[in-house]
Structure 1
Amino acid sequence: MYRMTGPAGVGKTAIAQSCAEEFRSRCHLGASFFFTVHGCSDYSRFFTSISYQLSSKSPDYHEILDKKLRLDPTIVRKQLRSQFRELIVEPVRELELAGKSIGGRVILVDGLDECKDKEAQREIIEIVTTSVVTHTTPFYWVFFSRPEPQIEAAFADYSAASLCISTLLPISRGIDGEIELYLRCGLQNILRRRGITISHPWPSEPDMHTLVSAAQGLYIYAATVLRFVGRTDTQYDPQELLHIVLETSAQSSDGGSMRTPFEELDAFYTLILQRVPNGLLSSIQF
């Protein structure tokens, strides 16, 4: 087992997506699951999704799974441990007995801390750890998450700690070069999609320096800038939208006090909320 932890916004999901793509290109990816607060936070879909993805890569696994679900459609509504046993452990065992192992694949899980049930977060770790200890599944499990107390406690358990390699991804200005490259490529893609040609370098070097400094090592700031500048539901063009971002950054840095890494992000999100079109305000939920 492997896990990467770090605070919000440092790029864990970006790394997880890159890893998933790389494993997929090498045919090593068994399954991936990305928990998100406003997307998929339902833990009851976790093992069902993993089993479905595994079955899509093995006709024999698919046949076993299909038979199981025909005989007992209620499996998908059972407790997590029962789902894991019936949808993953038992099909894997049946394949191994038939000499058709699907071992050696990676199962990648991102954002476990965004699973809506904290007890389910702990239970998922315990189920997977027990499986690794007892060799009931032949997979490499990879987790990406924030270091929430219940997750840290579950991984601190002796059986998990002895089997898991952990990496901390801190907030660091050491990745400024990577954030700059990410912003440059993203901004150029926005111009290309909009069919806009600019004769001079955009953004300028001072403006790019301002953006990278504002990010303070947080990929989430850079990603939010690109989403804001790439908007098509406004009368402003990308250059004007980027100018708004730069003005906001200049205003937030006028104070002489020490800033936290999230202060720029807070100011930027305030700007975005202020720019929400009036027609959309009624549909926004807080």
Structure 2
Amino acid sequence: MNAISQSGNGPDAQSVQHTQAAGVHNCYDADDGFKHLQAHVATSAFDSVDKVDAPKCHPQTRLAVLDEIMDWILLAVTRIQWMLWLNGAAGAGKSAIARSIVALCLSKNIPVARFFFFRTDPTRNSIQPVVATLVHQLVQQLPDLLAIIVPKIQSDPLIFRKSLETQLGYLIFEPLRQLHRECPMKTNVVLLVDGVDECAGHENQKGLVRAIASFLSPRDIPVVAFFGSRAENHLGQIFRSQEVSTSLLQLALDGHYLPDNDIRLFLTEKFAEIKATHPFSDYLDKDWPDPSHVGDIVTKSSGQFIYASVVIIFLSSPRQHPAQQLEIIRGLRPAGKLTPFAQLDALYRHIFSQVENIGQASLILAYSIFGNTPHLVDLEPFFGIPFDTVHVILADLPSIVDYRSSKEALYFLNASLPDFLLDSK
């Protein structure tokens, strides 16, 4: 029995036959079971053509973190960490890294089933289609699973209406254990879930992590789980819990990976591409852009790829002059009806929409921007906000601001955030 498909063509449901105590089920039954599975799959969660989806990492960037993650996946010695949490600030490039990991796994014939949550897409912003979507990909890459899973769907057609834990055990972990007993898998299977924080409902987010951790706890099958999300407090709480943390590798996308170098490389190559391909390239100065202007974009990015990416998208518009677009970015030319940072603004608006105490949070942020020496201990005499409540008020903003009581100050993780807050629009 070949546990891993080398052809990549996936299974043919009509060829599946199996025998149960009740007798032999015909090919029509197998096809019916597979179609029932397909009816619950969110295709956009793993194969989306939506422009809002992050592409893979730019070539030759993020190499250190990609190597670290792939080394963890390929680990052949005794494994301690069966789950990985990649977290970082809003716009840090987590999804691009996740998509690159998928591509690397597929290129090495490592089975990888993935689900990319996205908050504004109703087909993939809820917990309901997660298991069916993962299962569908697993049977494509591990065809022998189909003969195990289809009978289970046939015997319980309502399985997709049951709890997440029941679905995970019945359709993923039990079948993988059976397959591993019958034909030991020679490589790890990867379950990759990105954008966990974009799944509707905090309890659903925590429940997904907790359930997968529970099924991995026996450590008896070669399955690892990758989670990507912003470092929201409620997710940090579940990942730090005893039931999860003992098997967890946590990677934070911070200065440790020298993101400024990668962002500069990305910008340098993208500016060269604009100069070579843009319809108005003949009207660009040969020395454009000024290196200091590129440096300003790197600084404004604050280690987060989203700002640099948005700038390049804006400059690449075939209907506008790139040099004039850059002047708009630098604030030297009015934007008019153009909206260079619409994507970034939408991200900030979503984050602020989740803030419970938006009034006091806004006061704290405003004080941090306008105060000459903005020590947060001074908030109480000005606004009546006790210093020891600041961390509670800012609890919904860990992906865009960093607050540590020992410093008595607030640090913006995205240098573009004050611009957003000060924009009257």
Question: Which TM-score band applies after superposition, normalised by the shorter structure?
Answer: 0.7 to 0.9
After alignment, is 188-197 or 27-36 more displaced?
188-197
Identify the range of structure 1 (31-40 vs 258-267) with the bigger mean alpha-carbon deviation: 258-267
Contact residue 4 and residue 169 of structure 1 kept, 8 A: yes
- Aligned residue for 2:303? 217
CA–CA separation in structure 2 for the residues paired with 1:257 and 1:142: 43
Q: CA deviation at 1:261?
A: 4.2
The question of whether the paired residues in 2 share the 8 Å contact of 1:41 and 1:114 is answered with yes
Do the aligned residues in 2 keep the contact of 1:28 with 1:104 (CA within 8 Å)? yes
Residue in 2 aligned with 1:18? Answer: 100
Residue 208 of structure 1: aligned partner: 294
Cα distance per residue 1:174-233 (max 9 Å; x no partner)? 42221111122234445556455446143221221221122122211112212322345x
Secondary structure of the 2:412 match is: coil
| Secondary structure class of the residue paired with 1:223 | helix
Whether the 8 Å CA contact 1:5–1:168 is kept in 2: the answer is yes
Q: 1:242 aligns with which of 326, 332, 342?
A: 326
Matched, 1:82 2:166: yes
- Structure of higher RCO (CA pairs closer than 8 Å, 6+ residues apart): 1
CA distance in 2, matches of 1:189, 1:261: 29
Q: CA deviation at 1:67?
A: 3.5
What amino acid is aligned across from residue 44 of structure 1 in structure 2? Q
The structure whose residues are more often helix, as a share, is 1
CA–CA separation in structure 2 for the residues paired with 1:102 and 1:43: 30
Q: Distance in 2 between matches of 1:203 and 1:2?
A: 40
Give, in whole Å, the separation in 2 of the partners of 1:173 and 1:123: 30
**Contact kept in structure 2, 1:179 and 1:212, CA below 8 Å:** yes
CA 1:113 to 1:65, structure 2 compared with 1: closer, same or farther past 3 Å? same
Q: Which residue of 1 aligns with 2:259?
A: 175
How far has the Cα of 1:124 moved from its partner? Answer: 0.9
**Other structure's SS at 1:4 match:** strand
Partner residue of 1:62 out of 134, 142, 146: 146
Corresponding residue of 2:42: none
Aligned residue type for 2:158: T
Q: Does 1:8 align with 2:90?
A: yes
CA RMSD in angstroms, aligned pairs only:
3.3
Contact 1:248 1:267 in 2 (8 A): no
Normalised TM-score (structure 1): 0.79
Distance 2:188 2:127 in 1: 25
1:119-138 equivalences in 2 (<5 Å) = 119-135=203-219, 137-138=221-222
Between stretches 154-163 and 258-267, larger displacement belongs to 258-267
Q: Deviations over 1:89-120 (max 9, x none)?
A: 22213323432547512222222111111111
Identify if the C-alpha distance between structure 1 residues 202 and 71 changes in structure 2 by more than 3 Å, giving closer, same or farther: farther
- Which amino acid in structure 1 is aligned with residue 87 of structure 2? T
Equivalent position SS for 2:225:
strand
1:267 is aligned with what amino acid? D
- When normalised by structure 2's length, the TM-score is 0.55
Contact 2:169 2:215 in 1 (8 A): no
| Equivalent residue for 2:314, pick from 228, 240, 243 | 228
SS in 1 for 2:228: strand
Aligned to 1:282: none
Aligned equivalents of 1:136 and 1:92: distance in 2?
10
Percent identity between the aligned chains? Answer: 26
- Check if 1:28 corresponds to 2:28: no
Aligned to 1:264: 416
Residue 111 of structure 1 aligns with which residue? 195
Max Rg structure: 2
Q: Is the 8 Å Cα contact of residues 55 and 62 (structure 1) preserved in structure 2?
A: yes
SS of 1:247's equivalent?
coil
Asked if the contact 1:4/1:12 (under 8 Å) is kept, the reply is: yes
Alignment-mate amino acid for residue 295 of structure 2: H
Aligned counterparts, 1:33-52, within 5 A: 33-39=115-121, 40-52=124-136
